[in-house]
Structure 1
Amino acid sequence: MVLNQSVYIMLTDTGTLFTKSIKKYTKAPYNHASISFDPDLQELYSFGRKNPSNPINGGFVKEDIFEGTYSKYPETTCVIYKLEVTDRDVEKMKRVLNVFKKNQRKFLYNLLGVVGVSLNEPVEFSNSYFCSQFVAEILHRSGIRLWDKLPALVTPDDFRSNQRFHQIYEGKLFEYEPVKKRFLKE
């Protein structure tokens, strides 16, 4: 088994009222998780706001750093991790991701699941996820088992504490070099 590929997990804090509320409870520095298959974060996926101006309407999203929610919060802080995986792992993850892409209108944000995490009781509905549950689900369905708990109980902080993830950046999202270079080109 040759670990010759990487996937990237980005944890963020936009500083919104919703994230401040979560942070107050969790005491964790980051409260949103996304997954990407490139270090430039051009293909970035998660569960969150479908419309940057509407925090109520959530679901599966392809996040756009320059036009999506992050564009509204230029002071967003983040940490980016690299997870080394095999070619086969990436193939499986992309297959799972394609199911989400093809059915994106059917997926909802699992707000009750966030409450369930705080109670250590998984709240799962078909076609309903919260951000870290979604990322953990992609990894789990691809055969990458990183925790001894269900994806519905995985928090953004669980990514920070797992030794398989290698931190490659921490700071302001728009100061991350690949993002900064893309921003200057646009």
Structure 2
Amino acid sequence: MNRDKDIYVLLTDTGTVLTKIIRTFTKDPLNHASIAFDEDLNEVYSFGRKNPSNPFFAGFVRENVRGEFFEESMCALYRCKVSQSAYSGIRAQIQHFEQYSDLYKYNLAGMLGVVLNIEWEREYAYFCSQFVATIFKRSGVSLVDKSPLLVTPGDFQTTPHLELIYHGKLHDYTGCEVTAAAAGGSFRTA
């Protein structure tokens, strides 16, 4: 019996000033990373804006990828097969973050550390790709061969542990507008 579970990494570009600044340094077109528990993206988590209209109020969030904030976002959705044990570990960590979400802040200093190639860890603080890499690593799945403190969203695009299943407009994928096939999005399935 196959006991592997699917979990997803979603990369997006929201077009905000911060993502444009990040792109200047990373040269990657997609500069926000999230973890999703389902292919339909109903349960998506990351570190980002707690209030879409306020970039300075950020931390652990459950993201509504069908909302206005992601309306014009491009994305890439990747699938990762993990053991039942790793999946349970990832779930447990997310539940912990949800329970104690008020403790957690956005690690803006850590992002500066990535630019300078310095591991800048802060207690209870993460930036999006650090969060995704850390959650997987703590569950025994090392997606990228570097410290989570130095992982960029672009690093997830080159790892053999993730399988690309969609690239295109996020709202086309989630059904918020027209279907992805009609809008020119591309799907890959196993």
Q: Which residue of 1 aligns with 2:149?
A: 152
- Answering whether residue 61 of structure 2 is matched by residue 72 of structure 1, we say no
Q: SS state of the match for residue 28, structure 1?
A: coil
* Cα-Cα RMSD: 1.9
Q: Which runs of 4+ in 1 moved over 3 A?
A: 181-184
Contact 1:2–1:86 (CA<8 Å) still a contact in 2?
no
Q: Distance in 1 between matches of 2:95 and 2:63?
A: 15
- Cα distance in 2, alignment partners of residues 183 and 106 from structure 1: 39
The answer (yes or no) to whether the contact 2:70–2:171 under 8 Å persists in 1 is no
2:30 aligned partner: 30
The residue type paired with residue 116 of structure 1 is G
The aligned counterpart of 1:113 is 110
Render the CA deviation track for 1:56-97: whole Å, top value 9, x for unaligned.
110000001234xxx134211000000011111111111111
The residue number in structure 2 matching 1:42 is 42
Is residue 63 from structure 1 mapped to residue 63 from structure 2 by the alignment? Answer: yes
Structure 1, unmatched stretches of 5+, are: none
Q: Gaps spanning 5+ residues in structure 2: where?
A: 180-190
1:81-96 equivalent positions in 2, closer than 5 A: 81-96=78-93
Q: 2: CA distance between counterparts of 1:103 and 1:23?
A: 31
Matches within 5 A, 1:167-182: 167-176=164-173, 179-180=174-175
TM-score scaled to structure 2, two decimals? 0.89
1:56 counterpart SS class:
strand
Answering whether residue 139 of structure 2 is matched by residue 136 of structure 1, we say: no
- Asked if structure 2 preserves the Cα contact closer than 8 Å seen for 1:133 and 1:151, the reply is yes
Distance 1:116 1:2, change over 3 A: farther
